[in-house]
Chain A
Amino acid sequence: MTAPIHTSSFSGYPFTDGCYDELVAATGQPRLPAAAIARFIDKHGRAELLARQVLLNQTISAMGVCFTLYSEGQNIDRGWPLDVMPRTIPLSEWRKTSAGLTQRLQALNLFIDDLYHEQKVLKDGIVPADLVLDSRNFLAPCRGVSPPFGVWAHICGTDLVRDESGRFLVLEDNLRVPSGVSYMLENRTVMKRVFPELFADSTIVPVDDYPHQLWKMLASLSPRPGDVPCMVLLTPGIYNSAYFEHSFLAQQMGIELAENTDLTVEDDGVYLRTLHGRKKVDVIYRRVDDIFLDPTVFRPDSVLGVPGLFNAWAKGQVAIANAPGSGVADDKVIYAYVPKIIEYYLGEKPLIDNVPTFLCSDEKERGYVLANLDQLVVKPANESGGYGILIGPRSTQVERDDMAAAIIANPRNFIAQPTLALSTAPTLCDGELEPRHLDLRPFILQGQDLYCSTGGLSRVALRKGSLVVNSSQGGGSKDTWIINDEV
């Protein structure tokens, strides 16, 4: 793609001050990877773009792509929000980014394995011991267990954002039961139907090998290598907000979708109840939180778990992905130490930097945070889905006072970050292309081998100026096009 681009597709695009735009350069011209979509708009006009958005929405409802919102005690299924404008990233840049992501996951797994064995990292004072030992994600029963390849977090969803200069930064690592990958895959399927001409002659790198890579990674964990493993996806059931994804992934991989009552433990082995009798399970891809996994070891009141499962796993009779206890590295306070963790275990500099982070557990940093609440984003250490976050510049005095009290009561539980000028991308809002903030969640796999998804799930904040992209908070999504610029 070397031809000069003469286009008026983005003329008059209302940039957000101080933010990097993914598709449009400061000159108002499309960036190189965005050339194909820009040409499409030039050729067919805005009206056609609107028509394609309508087609897209119809496709989504016909395919039944949905997600669940928990609100006021009710579960409401919503159609999945997908914007017709893709987000584009050049392949050359993506190669570097994915190298940084796999480096990070490798280091995090060495870290988790160390925490449950010798704890060298604590003894050497790299990470303050109290942070780990007081973490409710550090599970004492996991001490001494050795999962295959020393890998605990097999599936990681890392949230990336770009700063004002366009550099990717890691916002957080999701190591417990990260979700969203099914939407990455479905977004692509939908977009292929909506823009067949763009996919026909373009250089958009495919994303659809993910289910195969996931299957291969899970199979590598099987305690019976060499044979075709029996694998199940363990779901909490239809009321879970990610149930769509659970059934989707199980279907794509051709493995069983199981609820806890479908599994039973006998003689330290886990068995699936089938119409043809019991079948021994080798690998469980679980989408149930740690503390609900096994009522004999964790929460005794769990009705989602399988009694005896933990013991079967500890004995190596069955593999569980992600392994119980891997959430210890998925803590927004531990996050601040990840660059040090990478250097400690791998002897390498981190390829992707963290967002600067203030720890409220540190007295000096806490003082700074409390004095600058109106400038900062404050996050609870152990929540997900964007719950409990304070965005300083958009908060009221009452919200800030409540947050200050909460921080003082439990400093360990909070971190703060500067309010980032997240990158934007043109998004179709009321018929106009307007900049909206977005992030990116790639999915990284580690079993015997390492793999990083091609791009990931781009989540976009649909309200003007909003920085919250979580689907549970009204965010939308975009298809992420990694454009091969090396041809």
Chain B
Amino acid sequence: MKYQLSHLTRYQYQQPIANSYNLACLQPRQLPYQQVLQSSIQVTPIASGLYSHQDSFGNVRHFIHLQSPHQELSVLASSIVEVQPRYLAGQLANGVGFEQLQHCFSNQSQLELNPASTDLLLARQCRFATRMIPLLPDAAALWAQVQQPHRTVLENVAALTSLIFNEFRYDPEFSSVITPVSEVLAHRRGVCQDFAQLAISCLRAVGIPARYVSGYLETQPPEGFERLVGADASHAWFAVYDPELGWVDFDPTNNLLPDERHLTLAYGRDYADVVPLKGVLQGLGEHLLEVAVDVMPLP
């Protein structure tokens, strides 16, 4: 599938802002199953500085600096992306078992697998608590509910994904971008970001490397309605590291394995690593934020 993707972030300030520094994480990743054919970042008013670099997770970041007084800032990221099918469903049974995975990350095996690969080191990093994702015993209890010893880790993760989908309610009113995992767990509701972070918390608590994936999902309008431009939203899911298969994605919000309709933006340890646009500004007053995302299929 080929998509025209646009992500517009617009701030309106009550009073002129003298200086503003922003860090964007808005350029989709180049992946074996995802080609970025075109990509651009457009800043209004014209930025006095706009540079890009790759962060330690391989995401492309843009640093945006404005130093002339402005009352409005908009950042429009647009790209054309082609996504190929990933056939993940057939792979789950080929993954490793829990013990094999544990062994792979024990200190003992670090010596056996000498030299360990860069990939494995990155995966190791995705086993620890982060500021946004603490390792909660209550989250680990979810794993105990679904895991069955004869299944591969990935099959069990698929079961966890279904459990979250079935027992948690999707509720955009409930949470914000900083809702802690413990709240999500206590009230059994949240949005995609919460479900991804909850699953990650659960997996890391039992020793399985899991990372946060930010991106977009092509949505289909309800039957009988026309497709609305700009009505889509950012999406998030998670991936689990399997020593045999590498990183495998799961989408707990929709209880499915990401495929052609999932567009991958960035990887990180948690949401804080991949915030689409964050920054610091010098000035006074309130601001209004408006975000419009559009994922339009191309013929």
- Which residues from chain A sit less than 8 Å from chain B, CB to CB? 119-120, 122-125, 128-130, 133-134, 140-144, 264-268, 295-297, 300, 307-308, 311, 314-315
Contacts and interface: CB of A to CB of B under 8 A. Distances in A.
Contact of B110 (A125, A143, A144, A266): A125
A128 B107 contact: yes
B56 A300 contact: no
A141 to B, nearest CB: 7
A125 B65 contact: no
A144 B59 CA distance: 13
Shortest Cβ-Cβ A-B pairs, 3 listed: A143-B56, A307-B21, A123-B115
B101 to A, nearest CB: 15
Contacts of A128: 107, 110
Interface string B37-61: 0000000000011010111110000
Nearest to B113: A125
B51 A122 contact: no
Given A119-B118, A123-B121, A296-B22, 9 more contacts: A123-B115, A129-B124, A140-B269, A142-B56, A266-B67, A268-B49, A296-B21, A296-B279, A308-B21
B272 to A, nearest CB: 9
A124 B114 contact: yes
A265 B65 contact: yes
A129 B121 contact: yes
B23 A266 contact: no
Contacts of B63: 296, 308, 311
Interface residues on B, range: 20 to 34
A300 B272 CA distance: 11
21 contacts: A122-B116, A123-B118, A124-B115, A125-B115, A129-B121, A129-B124, A130-B127, A133-B121, A134-B128, A141-B55, A141-B56, A142-B56, A144-B54, A268-B49, A296-B280, A307-B280, A308-B21, A308-B63, A311-B63, A314-B53, A315-B51
B115 A296 contact: no
A49 B108 CA distance: 60
B19 interface: yes
Given A300-B278, A307-B280, A130 B48 contact: no
Nearest to B115: A123
Nearest to B22: A296
B245 to A, nearest CB: 21
Contacts of B273: 140
A432 B279 CA distance: 60
Given A129-B116, A295-B280, A297-B23, A122 B67 contact: no
Interface string B169-187: 0000000000000000000
Given A266-B48, A268-B49, A119 B278 contact: no
B125 interface: yes
Most chain A beta carbons < 10 A, residue from B22, B67, B280: B280
B31 interface: no
B56 A144 contact: yes
Given A296-B23, A297-B23, A129 B56 contact: no
B102 to A, nearest CB: 13
A194 B93 CA distance: 80
A306 to B, nearest CB: 9
B128 A300 contact: no
- What secondary structure prevails in chain B residues at the interface with A? mixed
Contacts of B54: 144
A119 B119 CA distance: 11
Nearest to A118: B118
Contacts of B107: 128, 130
Most chain A beta carbons < 10 A, residue from B21, B53, B57, B118: B21
A354 to B, nearest CB: 20
Nearest to B273: A140
A140 B49 contact: no
Nearest to A130: B124
Contact of B48 (A129, A142, A267, A315): A267
Interface string B273-299: 100001110000000000000000000
B228 interface: no
A315 B65 CA distance: 15
Contacts of A141: 55-56
A119 B49 contact: no
B56 to A, nearest CB: 3
Contact of B19 (A122, A144, A264): A264
B248 to A, nearest CB: 21
A311 B278 contact: no
Interface string B51-84: 1011111000001010100000000000000000
A120 B67 CA distance: 42
Nearest to A295: B280
A360 B140 CA distance: 24
Contact of A123 (B23, B53, B116): B116
Given A123-B116, A124-B115, A125-B114, A140 B121 contact: no
Most chain B beta carbons < 10 A, residue from A120, A125, A295: A125
Nearest to B279: A296
B204 to A, nearest CB: 11
A267 B19 CA distance: 12
B51 A268 contact: yes
Nearest to B65: A308
A122 B225 CA distance: 55
A267 B65 CA distance: 8
Contacts of A315: 51
A333 B19 CA distance: 41
Most chain B beta carbons < 10 A, residue from A134, A143, A264, A307: A307
Contacts of A119: 118, 121
Contacts of A265: 21, 65
Nearest to B53: A314
B128 A129 contact: no
Interface in B114-162: 114-118, 121, 124-125, 127-128
Contacts of B115: 120, 123-125
A268 B53 CA distance: 13
Interface in B238-292: 269, 273, 278-280
Contacts of A134: 125, 127-128
A265 to B, nearest CB: 7
B118 A129 contact: no
A308 B49 CA distance: 11
A119 B23 CA distance: 26
Contacts of B19: 264, 307
A300 B279 CA distance: 8
